[in-house]
Amino acid sequence: MKKIITLLVLSILITACSSKKEGNMTVQGQIKGLKKGTLYLQKMKDTLLVSVDSVNLLGNDKFILTDNVESPVLYYLTFDGNTTNKRILFFGEKGTITINDNVEQFGYTPEITGSKNQEILDKYNKVKNKFQDERLNFIKKDFEAKKANDQELIAQLEKDYQKLTRKRVLYTTNFAITNADKEVAPYIALTEMYDASLKMLDTVNNSLSDNVKSSEYGKRFQDYLNTIKKK
């Protein structure tokens, strides 16, 4: 009887192990200085942030997490599922993605390799940050001009700021079109082209490859355009 029970238990364990699905995306790496904690791999599902995998780190700062990726989307790597403080945001896709960081500056300047969409997003963000710096500089100058009641300078700054905005929108549009064969293109359009004209949005959408149009962000972008056109 004991032998039968043992065989049944072993059979259940073997079945459970064989039925376990391995993810088509592996996220591996090292968080230097992390002695104890839980790392969570998370992503948005509808409007909720859900955990798809996790690992407890006890004296070992290296990690491996997995998920099945149907369409490249943004993922969160977080401590204890908390995205409000420390987190790493990256584009997940099929294959092996390596993320290296340190616990003291977690999320500020992580090294991420293995994701083509992430590489493209990093290139865009470098230019985006320059536009943001220029915008902050305009805000500072505008504040000083208003404080001095310099109406001529205020008017000129307004014109220059409008030019900067048009330049940013045009750059973003061209960047999305240049990378229309990657899922990052509709993502950038959704998040960065909020002040673009409908014509520009349509131009980006028409440039997307069929594969990208059928991706999660491609579908969201189409829904966004449909909503604008109805209004």
Rounded distance between C-alpha atoms, residue 126 and residue 116, angstroms? 16
Question: What is the DSSP annotation of 72-106?
Answer: -EEEEEEETTEEEEEEEEEEE-SEEEEEEEESTTT
Rounded distance between C-alpha atoms, residue 122 and residue 154, angstroms? 34
Q: Does domain 21-114 have CATH number 2.60.120.330?
A: no
Provide the pLDDT for residue 81: 54
* Residue ranges covered by each domain of the chain: 21-114, 118-230
Angle at 59 between CA 53 and CA 61, to 5 degrees: 55
pLDDT per position in the chain (231 positions), as tens? 545 444 444 444 444 343 445 789 999 999 998 888 899 999 999 889 999 999 998 888 999 999 999 999 999 999 875 555 679 999 999 999 999 999 888 999 999 999 999 999 999 999 999 999 999 999 999 999 999 999 999 999 999 999 999 999 999 999 999 999 999 999 999 999 999 999 999 999 999 999 999 999 999 999 999 999 998
Query: In what order do the strands lie in the sheet containing 62-67?
Result: 62-67, 25-32, 95-102, 111-113
Using alpha carbons, list the distances in angstroms from residue 126 to 41, 78, 98, 112, 228.
Answer: 25, 23, 21, 15, 29
Rounded distance between C-alpha atoms, residue 132 and residue 117, angstroms? 22
Provide the pLDDT for residue 1: 52
pTM of the model: 0.85
Residue 52's nearest CA partner among 34, 31, 73, 35 is 73
Looking at residue 43, the DSSP 8-state letter turns out to be E
Six-digit token string for 45: 């599902």
Residue that the structure tokens 């001009």 belong to: 145
Provide the pLDDT for residue 111: 97
Provide the pLDDT for residue 14: 42
